[in-house]
Amino acid sequence: MGPSLTFGTLRFIVVSLAVFAQIYLFLRFRQSVRSSGRSQRVKSAALVLAGSVIGLLFAMNLFILIRPVAWVDPPAPVQALLFYLPAVWGFGSILSALLLAVFQAAGGLARAIAGRIRGPAPREGEPPEDPGRRLFLQAGVGAVAAAPLFLSGYGAAWAGRSHEVCELTLPFGMPLRVVQLTDHHAGVYMTRNDLRRYAEAVSALDPDLFALTGDFVSNSIAFLPGCLEEMSRVRARYGTFATLGNHEHWVASPDRLRSLFRQHGVPLLYNAHRVIRTAQGPFAVAGIDDMRIGNDDLDAALKGLDPSTPTILLSHRPEIFPEAAAQGIALTLSGHYHGGQIQLSLPGGTTSLAHLRTPYPEGLFRIGESRLYVSRGIGTTFTPVRLGARPEITVINLT
C-alpha cells in the first residue's frame, strides 16, 4: 500500500480547518454574547476584543508557519508568548471548533427528533425553560470548547518534551549498539538547550554508532550550526553518521549543507557509504538523500560495496525499504513522520495522519531478512504539540 495523502493535500486540509475554526469559534462566541443580558456597549466591546485576539493569534501562528523565523534561542518568556501561545491556540482551536460543531449538530438532531415526537405545539401546563438548566448547558459547552486548548497546552509544555528511550534487539551478524536520533527540527520550538539535553542523553547510552536521519532544522539554516555542534558532542565508538531530510533542502543548497556538516565534524552520507572494520569483522553504513525533495540514489550509495558486508542504511523517508530489502540491506533506519505526532487511540487501534500517508508511520517492519525501523523522532512540525506520540531516542542492539 502506498501513500494516499500527499503533503499538499494535507497542508490544504490543515489550513482549511484552521480558517474554519477561527470563523466558527467567533460566530459561536458572538451568538453567546448576543443572548446574554449584558448592555449593548459591553456586548460590542466583548465582540471587538474576541475578534481581535482570535485574529491576532491566528495571524501570528500563520506567520510562524510560512515564514522562516531565525531567532536562535529566544528568552523563555518571549518563546512562550510569541511562539507557543499562538501555536497552542492554532491547534487547540481546530479541535475546539470540531467538537463544538459535532455537539451543535447532535443537539439540533435531538431537538428535531423531540419536536416530531411531541408535535409543534407545547403541551398544556408545560413549565417554562429552567434558567439553571440553560446555565448548566452553557457551562458544559464552555468546558467542551476549553478542553482541547488545555490538551494542546499539555502537548506542547509537557508531552512534547518528555522523551522515551525505545530499545530493541535485532539480528545483524555482529554485536553493535546503535543509537538513532531523527527529526530534530531545531528552531524556535527546539532550542540549543533542548538539543544539548538530547546529546547528553545519547552519550549516556554509550553507543557504538550514532545515526542521524535528517530534518535537523525546521525552517531556517540559522539553526543548523548549533544543532550540529550539539550532536558532535556525542562520542560513539565507530563514529556518527548523518543523512539529509526534506527540511534541509528547503533552507539551503546541497553544497552549502555538505560544507556545514564538514565544518562541524558530522560525516554526511550523501548517496554514499562507509565501511567500518571491527574486531568482529567489517560492517557498512550507507546513506541516501531525501527521496522526494532531494536526489536519492541507492545504487550510488552501495556502489563498490561487497554484498556480503552487513549494512545499515540511513534514509530520512522509510519508503525506500522495499528497494533496500531487494538489495539485501540488513537494517534501514528512518524517521520523517514523527509517529503521526498527534495520535488517536480508537477501538480498532491507533491512527494518525501519518497512517494515512504511508505504510511505515512508526516502529519495526520486516521484508524477508531485512528490517526497517521508523523512529518517531524528537522534534515537531506544523505545531509544537505531541499527543500520543512521545519524542523518541532509539537504541538498537544488533547481534
Q: Tell me the C-alpha to C-alpha distance, in Å, between residue 197 and each of 153, 161, 246, 362.
A: 22, 10, 24, 23
Cβ pair 93, 50 in contact under 8 A:
no
Phi-psi region for residue 206, left (φ > 0), alpha (ψ -120 to 50) or beta? left
Per-residue confidence in pLDDT tens, the chain, 399 aa: 444 556 677 778 888 999 999 999 999 999 889 988 889 999 999 999 999 999 999 999 989 888 888 899 889 899 999 999 999 999 999 999 998 998 888 878 877 887 777 666 555 555 555 555 555 555 666 677 788 899 999 999 887 778 999 999 999 999 999 999 999 999 999 999 999 999 999 999 999 999 999 999 998 999 999 999 999 999 999 999 999 999 999 999 999 999 999 999 999 999 999 999 999 999 999 999 999 999 999 999 999 999 999 999 999 999 999 999 999 999 999 999 999 999 987 777 778 889 888 999 999 999 999 999 999 999 999 899 999 999 999 999 999
What percentage of residues in the chain have a pLDDT greater than 70?
91
pLDDT of residue 323: 98
Q: Tell me the C-alpha to C-alpha distance, in Å, between residue 144 and each of 22, 103, 252.
A: 16, 9, 43
pLDDT of residue 136: 54
Measured CA angle at 127 (ends 126, 128), to 5 deg: 120
For residue 110, what is the enclosing H or E element? helix 85-118
CATH superfamily entry for domain 164-398: Metallo-dependent phosphatases (3.60.21.10)
Query: 290: helix, coil or strand?
Result: coil
Q: Which residues contact 224 (CB under 8 A, 6 or more apart)?
A: 186, 216, 217, 248, 251, 252, 257, 260
Cβ pair 390, 350 in contact under 8 A:
no
pLDDT of residue 160: 77
Task: Give residue limits of the domains in the chain.
Answer: 7-157, 164-398
First to last CA, the chain: 31
- 3-class DSSP string for 145-203: HHHHHHHHHHHHHCHHHCCEEEEEEECCCCCEEEEEECCCCEECCECHHHHHHHHHHHH
pTM above 0.85, yes or no: yes
